[in-house]
Structures are given as C-alpha cells and as structure tokens.
Amino acid sequence: MKNKKISAKKFKTMAEEWFTEYANLNLKSTTLASMRQRSQRVYAEFGKKSIKNITAKQIQDFVNSLARPGANQKTGEPLSSKTITHHLSFISDVFVYAIRTGACTDNPCRSVVVPKQPKTEKKIYSQEETALLFSRLRGEPLKYQAFFYLIAYSGFRRSEMLGLEWRDIDFDNNLVSVRRSSNYTSDKGIYTDSTKTKFSYRTLKVSDYIIDILCQLKAEQQEMAALCDNWIPSDRLFIKRNGSPMNPQTPYGWLKEFCKRNDMEFHGIHSFRHFTASALISYGLDVTSVSRILGHGCPGTTLNIYSHAFQTAQAKASAAMDSAFLFLSQDKNAISKKEEKINVADSIKSLEELAEQMGKTLKIEFV
C-alpha cells in the first residue's frame, strides 16, 4: 500500500522533495533561484500529473513550445536553446531523484531533444567601441572608471569583480586575485559566495594605469569613510555610498544609461568578458592560457564558446605563414617555367629531326 502511494506522487510534490532533499543542500543560491524560477513554468505543465504517467512525447511537446515565438514573455521571442536546456535539465533532475526514491523506473527526458535554433552572434565591443567608451569614461565617477577598465582588461565575471576586496590587490606587483564572488537573490539580498568553480580562483597581472586608478579609488573611499556617520566597512572595491557591497545590477544599469547618454551601443556587462577573450585569442594566446585567464574549468569550455574566434585567428596565422613562405610559390613558378622551356626545346628538336628525315632543313631559334 505504501509503495502504491509513493508511485502516485504528482510531479510538483516530487520536485519539491527534490528541492528540499538535494537542491537546497547542494546548489549555489543563484542556481537555486534560477531553478525556482524555471519550476513555475514546468509546474504549470506537469505539476498536477502523476510523475510515473508523464511521457517523453509530452515533455518533447513542452520543450518544443519553448522554442516557438512568444515563449519569452518579455521579448515575445522564442527562449534560447540554453534556457530550454535548463528547463529540460530541471525536469530530468526531478526524474533522477524519483527513480532513486522508487517513485518511477524510467527517465523519459533521455529521449527528448532540444530543438536546434539559429545561432545568434555574440554582442562584443570592438576595439574601436572600447576605445571610444574608455575615452568618454574620463570625468565619470572613479568607481565606474575602475570597474570598466578592470573588467575589460581582466575578463573577470561581474560577480568576481564585485567580490574583489582591497586585500586582493597587490599594489607593489600589479596583481589582482579573484578569491570570492558577490551575488544577489530576492531571498538573501546581496551575499558573498565562492567562485563559480575551483578554477575561477586566479591571479592576474594588470597595467600600471589600472593600478593607479585603483590607488585613487582607495583614497577616495577612505575620505568617504571619514565623512560618513553610518559607514559599513566591507573592504570591497565596489561599494554603495555607505561602504556596503554594491548591488550586482548597479554596473549594468549605470552602463546602460551611460551608453544612452553618449549615443553608444549597449551590449551588457558580459560582453566585456567576450572582448577580453577575443583580444587574447587575436593576439595569439593558446586555448589553455586563455582558459586559465578566464577561469574556465577546462580548455574545452573555452574552445566551445570561442571556437569562431580561434578559427579566425588560425586563418590569420595561415595567411601569415603563406606570406612567410611566399618564396616557395616563387620557386615553384620558376621551376614550372624551366620545365616549360625544356618541353618546348624537346618539341623543337623533334621537329628538326623529322624535317631532316624528309630531306628538309628546319632551324628554329628561341627569341
């Protein structure tokens, strides 16, 4: 009787068990918040259905609906392949948990395919756009100059930037170290967390110019602390007026307003990370080095995300090598001409011999 009761569990009931027994204990707060957000759409489709009766066809139909226009309620566009995959992963995670607890025996998600969608080109600030942006940053608040110079130079994630503390800056050796991240959820507010992966812990050498800006920013904060009665010491580089950590949405909103004010394209915060990667690849850095600078878990991740950039760099390298080895083609042309001249000479000699056999005299000379 007990087994029969377990097997009749609704999808939402099983999903909430998964949240309690696994997700709440193992997932990062930001990931958990995203899972909660996706669950609402999934619950609307499968929440009241018995988990053992949900079929691969039903899940495939649901996934296909997310790829149709209107699925994104904000833009009216289809959801991205990445977002659709995240929805499917959530459903699959619940089924894996259900199998482990005996509520069902099969995971129908294994037969579901995410529809292919046209790949959209990443919005990346060009070198010209970045130079223009930096030139117009002069005169803006020091904290935003420091933020955008450093994020474009380093390729740090936004959460990593906001997690930087003054103890992470080695002013003598121009080193900046990533040791934590700063995030936000509606439940927890602004909070400190570990980095995305263990590979995200890294140290990068930066230019004298950036170090000078950071020195100015630190001096400015010390002045602010002396004048503020309710100062909250956080040791963070990027803070609110009272010294507490900056909200992760603040740089995004400020940059959007800045671009509008200066009649510039707005590509978001993450585009600076793409700019850094593209610049490093264009310069000729190998995939392993780029991966380490970006804090990726493995070079394969970097190669997958920036495969086009690497292909472009390889094409440039090939063109450069073609130019370097131009003498080979020149030698080849010289050899061809020599062979052609030999072939013509042999033909003329044959004609002269034939004429002689006929009792005629034929003399052909090269001009």
C-alpha 25 chain-centroid distance: 27
Give the pLDDT confidence score for residue 284 in this predicted structure: 80
Of 306, 317, 242, give the one whose Cα is nearest residue 284: 317
Give the pLDDT confidence score for residue 281 in this predicted structure: 82
**C-alpha span between 345 and 327 (Å, rounded):** 27
Check whether 13 has a pLDDT greater than 60: yes
Check whether 4 has a pLDDT greater than 60: no
**C-alpha span between 242 and 224 (Å, rounded):** 8
pLDDT digits (tens, 9 = 90+) for 96-107: 999 999 999 999
Mean pLDDT of the chain: 86
- pLDDT band of 1, cuts 50, 70, 90: very low
- pLDDT band of 2, cuts 50, 70, 90: very low
Identify the helix (H) or strand (E) that includes residue 212: helix 208-227
pLDDT, mean of residues 229-245: 95
Query: In the chain, where do the E strands start and end?
Result: 169-170, 175-178, 181-185, 189-193, 202-205
**C-alpha span between 104 and 5 (Å, rounded):** 12
Give the pLDDT confidence score for residue 5 in this predicted structure: 46
Check whether 253 has a pLDDT greater than 50: yes
**Partner residues linked to 183 by β-bridges:** 191
pLDDT digits (tens, 9 = 90+) for 23-58: 999 999 999 999 999 999 999 999 999 999 999 999
Give the pLDDT confidence score for residue 332 in this predicted structure: 53
Of 14, 18, 34, 16, give the one whose Cα is nearest residue 26: 18
pLDDT, mean of residues 154-183: 96
Check whether 135 has a pLDDT greater than 50: yes
Note the pTM of the prediction, 2 decimals.
0.73
Give the pLDDT confidence score for residue 325 in this predicted structure: 62
pLDDT digits (tens, 9 = 90+) for 55-94: 999 999 999 999 999 999 888 999 999 999 999 999 999 9
Please state, as a whole number, how many other Cβ atoms lie within 10 Å of the Cβ of residue 262. Answer: 12
Question: Which distant-in-sequence residues (6+ apart) come within 8 Å of 158 by Cβ?
Answer: 151, 248, 251, 252, 269, 270
Check whether 362 has a pLDDT greater than 50: no
Please state, as a whole number, how many other Cβ atoms lie within 10 Å of the Cβ of residue 277. Answer: 24
Q: Enumerate domains of the chain plus CATH numbers.
A: 2-111 (1.10.150.130), 127-315 (1.10.443.10), 325-367 (no CATH)
In Å, the largest CA–CA distance within the chain is 121
- Percent composition of the chain: helix, strand, coil (DSSP 3-state, to 5): 60, 5, 30
Please state, as a whole number, how many other Cβ atoms lie within 10 Å of the Cβ of residue 177. Answer: 14
pLDDT digits (tens, 9 = 90+) for 347-357: 555 555 655 65
**C-alpha span between 238 and 224 (Å, rounded):** 13
Q: What percent of the chain has a predicted confidence (pLDDT) above 90?
A: 64
- pLDDT band of 230, cuts 50, 70, 90: very high
Q: What percent of the chain has a predicted confidence (pLDDT) above 70?
A: 82
pLDDT, mean of residues 291-301: 83
Residue 81 in tokens? 């392949």
Give the pLDDT confidence score for residue 336 in this predicted structure: 55
pLDDT digits (tens, 9 = 90+) for 322-337: 665 665 555 555 555 5
- pLDDT band of 261, cuts 50, 70, 90: very high
Of the spans 2-16, 28-42, 297-311, 331-345, which averages the highest pLDDT?
A: 28-42
Name the strands in the sheet holding 175-178, side by side, starting at the edge strand that comes first in the sequence. Answer: 169-170, 175-178, 202-205
**C-alpha span between 331 and 342 (Å, rounded):** 16
Give the pLDDT confidence score for residue 367 in this predicted structure: 45
Give the pLDDT confidence score for residue 3 in this predicted structure: 45
Higher pLDDT, residue 136 or 316: 136
CB 178 within 8 Å of CB 170: no
CA atoms within 13 A on the CB side of 228: 15
Give the pLDDT confidence score for residue 258 in this predicted structure: 97
- The stretches of 27-137 forming alpha helices (DSSP H) are 29-46, 56-66, 81-101, 127-137
Q: Is 174 left (phi over 0), alpha (psi -120 to 50) or beta?
A: left
